[in-house]
């Protein structure tokens, strides 16, 4: 077998199979593979029936069409451009109404929607469905009073506080398009996204603690607004949540004074407003804007292999049905008894679909966690699970691997018996981490769901179902309802049975993206041009002899560092902005905790010497221009880069050098092979000086 998944998987581990535990099966929405197959078949052959039945649980101002030709319309063939995906055209609804009003009207007003758990264990709170609805109505009125209309883009840059959920649902309620930017991004990244979306309204918070570190969100946002304005995009209204003063431990008096002073110096009357001041006078009633099924709900930026982030655009009704259904089935949600916790930040798609929309549409009670699994120490997750009796837990392989370092006894003092389903997302999970999750966290009593999906797909597309699937550690197993994957070879030929290649999708499911905001051509080119007739995810996959699907990772110039997808081109373009750097190439290297780390090669301009200072400057530039999470682990000097005769950088060779693999394969097309030896010796020099 070829090595893949960074060599973690062997024939031996591929044959391990885990049956769903009885305690999960008895209450499951899908109790076995026969039931799964029946439901799956209907979802593919009669999508209007399958999704139409699900749609009945929701409120529609104008009903969904019932014949297939109106229910699902699409074109996946670039030669018959434009690519088009439409679901339930003609119907009208509002996702916020379905997530809140519908639940309150069903008598669930007093049910807890979120337990809010702060970074500091002393900070906690909770909000019911009724309270959340009132806050959302008030904020909808605030936005309307500021002149925000249906279709306007609202940028949101916030920590994991309930106001973030309120802001996004208020946008949905009035038909505005939210564009959430993860609170770990730099001012430059936020400015680019404000600019691209043409957002005139920005919602932020003053700051947040991540562990012991204070992140000055407002300062970063103020700088971003200036940068966006310089490029012609004025933010006319900025609304800021005053979060720090309400914390039990907001920081030393001195630090807070300094923080207040910095807020005052950047504050622009007229543009900047405090959230609590606007909310004080807002009314708690608001009639939702009824929107068409295909009206846009939100955009969310994801890395593109050409460097510029893409604004992935999702529409309303299909996304609503898909996040609700994937949440219900992938976690086997039990509304009466479950407490669900997804550790992802709402700034990523996982947070959109599985912190906010999916859970609320299912009237779930969730934990909304502001902190990190390592503060005050590595026991934080176990403390929260036992305190709130969490039954469904969803996190990333990188977090699991980091926690594994603290040994298998760490969970012993905690009662984790409430757990039933453990989910993972964001990158391939190595079988060792899977098994640790299963035996140490799940105590052998839980189903593991390794959910494969993307920002673009809106929700899980390949995933086990907790009560049905016999799982294999490291495999995302089988397609979700409505999803038809194929594995293709380089020529686009379908691989039947066992084999490895590109994973593509033959028909749309309701929750998939509709376009790249403002650039439909890029949408078609990125996802539909290599294999006409298919959506291409950009990942490789293998199907084993039992039909299980194993995602093998990206096959384009992207890398996945701690579950954050990044393009090598984006990092390279920052490196070459340094006045002394002539050229740069970035490749991923395997990393035990992060999955992949960044390894950069930089060529100095003629006559300039690469120094430790330059290395530090480059790291700072990446932190400031992209985000701290994009900081490379290695930057090595490259007096010359391996290139083909036509001048194309041979990344395949660079990957080998970064990994200290001397067998470079066929390098006959390399213009100057002497660079290789120099690169190996510079690599050693770099490691010696570390």
C-alpha pair distances (Å), 177 with each of 167, 314, 427? 11, 9, 28
Binding test (CB under 6 A) with ligand PRX, winner from 164, 282, 346, 551:
551
Q: Is 453 in the site for ligand PRX (CB under 6 A)?
A: yes
Using an 8 Å Cβ cutoff, are 302 and 312 in contact? yes
Window contacting ligand PRX (CB under 6 A); options: 176-184, 410-418, 421-429, 439-447? 421-429
Q: Is 179 in the site for ligand PRX (CB under 6 A)?
A: no
CB of 455 to ligand PRX, least distance (A): 3
Window contacting ligand PRX (CB under 6 A); options: 226-234, 446-454, 525-533, 597-605? 446-454
CB of 453 to ligand PRX, least distance (A): 5
- For the chain, the 3-state helix, strand and coil shares in percent, each to the nearest 5, are 35, 25, 40
Binding test (CB under 6 A) with ligand PRX, winner from 182, 319, 382, 452:
452
CB of 77 to ligand PRX, least distance (A): 23
Binding test (CB under 6 A) with ligand PRX, winner from 92, 350, 471, 526:
350
Binding test (CB under 6 A) with ligand PRX, winner from 259, 554, 625, 643:
554
Helix/strand/coil for 240: strand
Of residues 192 and 424, the one with the C-beta less far from ligand PRX: 424
Q: Is 119 in the site for ligand PRX (CB under 6 A)?
A: no
CA distance 262 to 275: 18
CB of 190 to ligand PRX, least distance (A): 18
CA distance 517 to 524: 12
**Cα-only R_g, the chain:** 25
Could you tell me which residues are beta bridge partners of residue 550? 542
Using an 8 Å Cβ cutoff, are 193 and 178 in contact? no
Residues near 269 by beta carbon (within 8 Å), at least 6 away in sequence: none
From 237, 250, 236, select the one nearest 277 (Cα to Cα): 237
Q: Using CB atoms within 10 Å of the CB of residue 3, give its burial: 0 to 12 exposed, 13 to 18 middle, 19+ buried.
A: exposed
Where residue 370 falls (left for φ over 0; alpha for ψ -120 to 50; beta otherwise) is: alpha
Binding test (CB under 6 A) with ligand PRX, winner from 142, 349, 602, 679:
349
The number of beta carbons lying within 10 Å of the beta carbon of residue 294 is 20
Q: What are 499's two structure tokens?
A: 């084999």
CB of 451 to ligand PRX, least distance (A): 5
Window contacting ligand PRX (CB under 6 A); options: 41-49, 333-341, 450-458, 669-677? 450-458
Window contacting ligand PRX (CB under 6 A); options: 81-89, 270-278, 426-434, 675-683? 426-434
Q: Using CB atoms within 10 Å of the CB of residue 492, give its burial: 0 to 12 exposed, 13 to 18 middle, 19+ buried.
A: middle
Could you tell me which residues are beta bridge partners of residue 596? 590
Q: Is 425 in the site for ligand PRX (CB under 6 A)?
A: yes
Restricted to residues 301-320, the positions that interact with ligand PRX (CB under 6 A) are 302
Site string for ligand PRX, 563-602 (x = CB under 6 A): --x-------------------------------------
Q: Is 459 in the site for ligand PRX (CB under 6 A)?
A: no
Of residues 173 and 542, the one with the C-beta less far from ligand PRX: 542
CA distance 681 to 651: 18
Binding test (CB under 6 A) with ligand PRX, winner from 47, 318, 371, 426:
426
From 61, 63, 41, 38, select the one nearest 52 (Cα to Cα): 63
Could you tell me which residues are beta bridge partners of residue 541? 501, 551
Site string for ligand PRX, 510-549 (x = CB under 6 A): ---------------------------xxx----------
Q: How many helices (H) and strands (E) does the chain have?
A: 24, 30
Of residues 201 and 429, the one with the C-beta less far from ligand PRX: 429
Of residues 250 and 474, the one with the C-beta less far from ligand PRX: 474
CB of 369 to ligand PRX, least distance (A): 17
Residues near 21 by beta carbon (within 8 Å), at least 6 away in sequence: 444, 445, 446, 447
CB of 567 to ligand PRX, least distance (A): 11
Window contacting ligand PRX (CB under 6 A); options: 193-201, 208-216, 452-460, 581-589? 452-460
Window contacting ligand PRX (CB under 6 A); options: 189-197, 268-276, 433-441, 553-561? 553-561
Using an 8 Å Cβ cutoff, are 229 and 186 in contact? no
Q: Is 455 in the site for ligand PRX (CB under 6 A)?
A: yes
CB of 9 to ligand PRX, least distance (A): 12
CB of 571 to ligand PRX, least distance (A): 16
Binding test (CB under 6 A) with ligand PRX, winner from 131, 450, 596, 637:
450
Q: Which residue's Cβ has the minimum distance to ligand PRX?
A: 455
483: which DSSP letter? Answer: -
Binding test (CB under 6 A) with ligand PRX, winner from 299, 476, 504, 654:
476
CA distance 323 to 318: 9
Could you tell me which residues are beta bridge partners of residue 422? 393, 448
- Where are the alpha helices (H) located in 186-316, listed in sequence order? 187-197, 217-230, 253-266, 275-280
Count of residues interacting with ligand PRX (CB under 6 A): 22
Pairing state of beta strands 515-516 and 310-315?
A: antiparallel
Of residues 350 and 447, the one with the C-beta less far from ligand PRX: 350
* Own/partner pairs, 142-146, CB within 8 angstroms, 24+ separation: 142/170, 142/239, 142/278, 142/279, 142/282, 143/170, 143/171, 143/174, 143/176, 143/201, 144/174, 144/286, 145/278, 145/282, 146/201, 146/237
Window contacting ligand PRX (CB under 6 A); options: 9-17, 97-105, 313-321, 419-427? 419-427
CA distance 356 to 169: 9
Binding test (CB under 6 A) with ligand PRX, winner from 428, 464, 501, 588:
428
Query: Where do contacts with ligand PRX occur on this chain (CB under 6 A)?
Result: 302, 349-350, 425-428, 450-455, 476, 537-539, 551, 553-554, 560, 565
């Amino acid at each position: 077998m070829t090595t893949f998944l960074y060599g973690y998987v062997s024939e031996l581990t591929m044959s391990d199979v885990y049956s769903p535990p009885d305690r999960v099966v008895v209450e499951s929405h899908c109790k076995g593979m026969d039931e799964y197959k029946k439901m799956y078949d209907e979802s593919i052959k009669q999508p209007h029936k399958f999704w139409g039945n699900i749609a009945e649980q929701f409120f529609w101002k104008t009903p969904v069409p019932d014949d297939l030709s109106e229910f699902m319309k699409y074109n996946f063939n670039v030669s018959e451009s434009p690519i088009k995906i439409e679901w339930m055209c003609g119907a009208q609804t509002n996702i916020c109404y379905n997530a809140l009003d519908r639940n309150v009207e069903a008598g669930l007003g007093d049910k807890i929607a979120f337990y809010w758990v702060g970074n500091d264990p002393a900070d906690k709170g909770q909000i019911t469905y009724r309270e959340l609805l009132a806050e959302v109505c008030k904020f909808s009125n605030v936005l309307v009073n500021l002149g925000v209309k249906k279709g306007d883009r609202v940028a949101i840059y916030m920590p994991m506080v309930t106001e973030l959920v309120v802001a996004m649902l208020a946008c949905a309620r009035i038909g505005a398009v939210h564009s959430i930017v993860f609170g770990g991004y730099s001012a430059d990244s936020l400015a680019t996204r404000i600019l691209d979306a043409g957002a005139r309204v920005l919602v932020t918070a003053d700051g947040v603690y991540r562990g012991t570190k204070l992140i000055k969100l407002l300062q970063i946002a103020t700088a971003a607004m200036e940068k966006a304005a310089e490029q012609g995009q004025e933010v006319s209204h900025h609304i800021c949540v005053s979060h720090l003063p309400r914390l039990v431990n907001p920081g030393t008096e001195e630090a807070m004074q300094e923080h207040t002073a910095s807020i005052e110096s950047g504050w622009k009357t007229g543009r900047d407003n405090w959230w609590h001041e606007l909310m004080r006078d807002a009314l708690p009633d608001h009639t939702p804007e009824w929107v068409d099924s295909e009206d846009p709900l939100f955009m969310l930026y994801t890395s593109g292999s050409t460097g510029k982030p893409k604004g992935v655009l999702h529409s309303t009704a299909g996304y609503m049905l898909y996040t609700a259904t994937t949440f219900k089935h992938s976690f086997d949600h039990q509304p009466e008894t479950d407490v669900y916790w997804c550790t992802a930040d709402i700034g990523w798609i996982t947070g959109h679909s599985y912190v906010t929309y999916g859970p609320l549409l299912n009237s779930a009670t969730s934990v909304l966690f502001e902190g990190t699994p390592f503060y005050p120490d590595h026991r934080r997750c176990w403390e929260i699970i036992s305190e709130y009796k969490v039954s469904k837990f969803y996190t990333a392989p990188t977090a699991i691997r980091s926690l594994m370092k603290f040994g298998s006894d760490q969970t012993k003092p905690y009662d984790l018996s409430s757990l039933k389903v453990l989910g993972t997302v964001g990158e391939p999970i190595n079988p060792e981490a899977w098994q640790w999750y299963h035996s140490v966290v799940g105590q052998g009593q839980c189903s593991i769901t390794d959910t494969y999906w993307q920002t673009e797909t809106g929700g899980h597309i390949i995933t086990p179902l907790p009560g049905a699937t016999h799982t294999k550690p490291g495999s995302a197993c089988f397609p979700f309802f409505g999803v038809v994957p194929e594995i293709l070879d380089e020529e686009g030929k379908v691989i039947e049975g066992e084999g490895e290649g590109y994973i593509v999708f033959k028909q749309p499911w309701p929750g998939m993206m509709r376009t790249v905001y403002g650039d439909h051509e890029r949408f078609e080119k990125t996802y539909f041009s290599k294999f006409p007739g298919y959506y291409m995810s950009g990942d490789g996959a293998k199907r084993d002899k039992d039909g299980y699907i194993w995602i093998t990772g990206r096959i384009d110039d992207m890398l996945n560092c701690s579950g954050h997808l990044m393009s090598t081109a984006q990092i390279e373009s920052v490196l070459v902005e340094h006045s002394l750097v002539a050229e740069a190439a970035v490749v991923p290297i395997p990393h035990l905790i992060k999955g992949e780390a960044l390894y950069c090669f930089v060529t100095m301009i003629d006559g300039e010497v690469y120094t430790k200072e330059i290395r530090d400057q480059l790291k700072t530039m990446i932190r400031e221009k992209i985000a701290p999470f994009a900081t490379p682990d290695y930057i090595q000097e490259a007096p010359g880069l391996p290139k083909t005769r036509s001048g194309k950088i041979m990344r395949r060779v660079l990957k080998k050098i970064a990994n200290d693999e001397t067998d470079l394969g066929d390098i006959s097309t390399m213009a100057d092979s002497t660079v290789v030896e120099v690169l190996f010796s510079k690599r050693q020099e770099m490691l010696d000086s570390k």
